[in-house]
Amino acid sequence: MFNKTKLQNGVHLYIRKTEQFKTVNVTIKWKAPLDQKKASERAVLANVMEDSTKQYPTLGSMRKALDELYGTVLFTDVSKRSSQHMVSLYTECVNDEFFAGEDIFKQLWQLIRSVVFDPNVTNKAFDPDVTEREKRNVRDRIRSIYDDKTRFAQKRMLEIMRPDHPASISAYGTETAVSEITNESLYATYEDMMNNDLIDIYVVGDIDENDIIKQIKQFLPFAARDAVKQNGSPDVKVSDTVNTVREKQDMKQGKLHLGFHTPVFFHHPDYHKMQVTNGVFGGFAHSKLFMNVREKESMAYYANSAFASHYGIVYVTAGIDADLEEKAVKLILEQLTALQKGESTEIELSQTVALLENSILSANDSARSQIEIYDQYKELDENFTAERLIEKWESVTLEDVKEMANTIQLEIVYLLSGKEDVSE
């Protein structure tokens, strides 16, 4: 899969040479412990770094430089995993071979250098106008979750289920934390990120490995840092009673979200068994939820389950007529009970394993997916390959599925639905 090179303590390079793509992808990930306030700082910082640099001091000049380089892609994003917060810089350029006489890739390194090491900073502070604008953008991004009722319902369910916990903290932090950012605090965050974060650099494409190592040493001289292990599973306090919460907004469909706890986390030896169990429960179009809630009862267009392995949470989402809440909850829980009683078939099991295999092998066909999957799984196994995981899935038995299902415990039923008086 990827070849690993240690560049400095806490700074690693992962290269995958392949002729599969017409482009080269370079991704840099900065990783730090997840904290609500810091998350906001880092979200705004990511935006500000994408906007402009010393060399390209306006968004317009920055974007023109990228356009000239045959529409080279460069953007930042933030995300979280377990108790870790990540700032990612994603770049992608077309292979030089398609354009005689161009050296797009070399220029890409210069651009990355400019973004990472030479940001638009004067006297240890970012441009105040850019900072304010990007604070507004991140604030609006947080607010806009309200407009997407499925995302909003999921957010509410997690907040109620795991208050002030990594499971419910947003990778963008909070509106209040965003409003408290100054251009000086933002610069301090930049320095902290550059000096203390764990850094993983990924390169995928038709490249020469030795060249890449040379170029990175030249263009991206990251200093050594303490390589502290950051990413343990967060502690959880599970309530023994089931919480039922109903909230209202002006909307039509009922968004039903059920949250369940499982002691099986990403690092748990039974992790792969739980992935299969979730697949039989509601991960696919052959799964129990789809076949019964949608196809048999015609109650929903979507009815799925998902396994948030980093937080030990299984959740079910369905869009229903809110009047049918009770019936839908009963039907969903019946599917879980069936799993717990061992009422799944060899066919359901092999369908699920076949589709899990398909999805991980398919991920090989996108450079970005390769990077994201490896970045996650290398924490379990530095020599991770899709084949190893597939072997594990194939060894899962119906007895395992039953055993896993019995660890799944309902914690919350959350329904977001319309107010009575809504009319068109």
Partner 1 sequence: MKEVNFDQLQEKIYTETLDNGLKVVILPKRGFSKTFVTFTTKYGSIDRTFKPHGKDELITVPDGIAHFLEHKMFEKEDGDVFQKFSLNGASANAYTTFGRTAYLFSATNKLKENTKILLDFVQQPYFTKETVDKEKGIIAQEITMYDDQPDWRLYFGTIENLYENHPVKIDIAGTVESIQDITAEHLYTCYETFYHPSNMLLFIVGAVKPKEMMEFIKDDQAKKTFDKPEAIERQFPNESTEVDVSERTLTMDVSKPKLNIGMKCNKVDLQGQEMLEAELSANLVLDSLFGRTSAFYEKANAEGLVDESFSYEFTMEEGYGFAMVGSDTDEPERLEKLIRHTIKDAKSNWPVLEEDLNRMRRKKIGQFMRSLNSIEFIANQYTRYEFNEMNLFDVVPTLEKLSMDKLKEAFAMFSDDNSYTIFKVMPPKTQ
Binding site for partner 1 (CB under 8 A): 18-23, 58-60, 63-64, 66-73, 92-94, 98, 129, 133, 136-137, 140-141, 143-144, 146-149, 249-253, 284-286, 290-291, 294-295, 298-302, 319-321, 347, 350-352, 354-355, 357-359, 361-362, 364-367
Of residues 241 and 298, the one with the C-beta less far from partner 1: 298
| Helix (H/G/I), strand (E/B), else coil: 301 | coil
Nearest distance, CB of residue 376 and partner 1, angstroms: 19
Nearest distance, CB of residue 335 and partner 1, angstroms: 16
Distance CA 68, CA 268 (A): 48
Residue 18 sits at φ, ψ, to 5 deg, of: -155, 145
Half-sphere exposure of 354 (CA within 13 A, CB side): 9
Nearest distance, CB of residue 69 and partner 1, angstroms: 7
Of residues 19 and 226, the one with the C-beta less far from partner 1: 19
Picking from 85, 84, 86, 59, the residue whose alpha carbon sits closest to that of residue 74 is 59
- Token digits of residue 216: 């990175």
The residues with which 259 forms a beta bridge, in sequence order, are: 315, 412
Q: Output the CA–CA distances (angstroms, integers) from residue 289 to 20, 279, 306, 336, in the order listed.
A: 37, 10, 11, 9
Q: 383: buried, middle or exposed (CB in 10 Å: 19+, 13-18, 0-12)? A: exposed
Of residues 270 and 321, the one with the C-beta less far from partner 1: 321
Of residues 195 and 350, the one with the C-beta less far from partner 1: 350
Of residues 217 and 248, the one with the C-beta less far from partner 1: 248
Half-sphere exposure of 369 (CA within 13 A, CB side): 9
Nearest distance, CB of residue 142 and partner 1, angstroms: 9
Of residues 11 and 389, the one with the C-beta less far from partner 1: 389
Picking from 161, 169, 170, the residue whose alpha carbon sits closest to that of residue 314 is 161
Of residues 139 and 261, the one with the C-beta less far from partner 1: 139
Of residues 148 and 391, the one with the C-beta less far from partner 1: 148
Nearest distance, CB of residue 340 and partner 1, angstroms: 22
Q: Output the CA–CA distances (angstroms, integers) from residue 242 to 169, 258, 260, 293, 323, in the order listed.
A: 22, 10, 10, 22, 20
Nearest distance, CB of residue 421 and partner 1, angstroms: 12
Picking from 354, 172, 197, the residue whose alpha carbon sits closest to that of residue 276 is 354
Residue 243 sits at φ, ψ, to 5 deg, of: -90, 130
Nearest distance, CB of residue 363 and partner 1, angstroms: 9
Q: How far is CA 386 from the centre of its chain?
A: 19
Nearest distance, CB of residue 66 and partner 1, angstroms: 8
Distance CA 384, CA 404 (A): 24
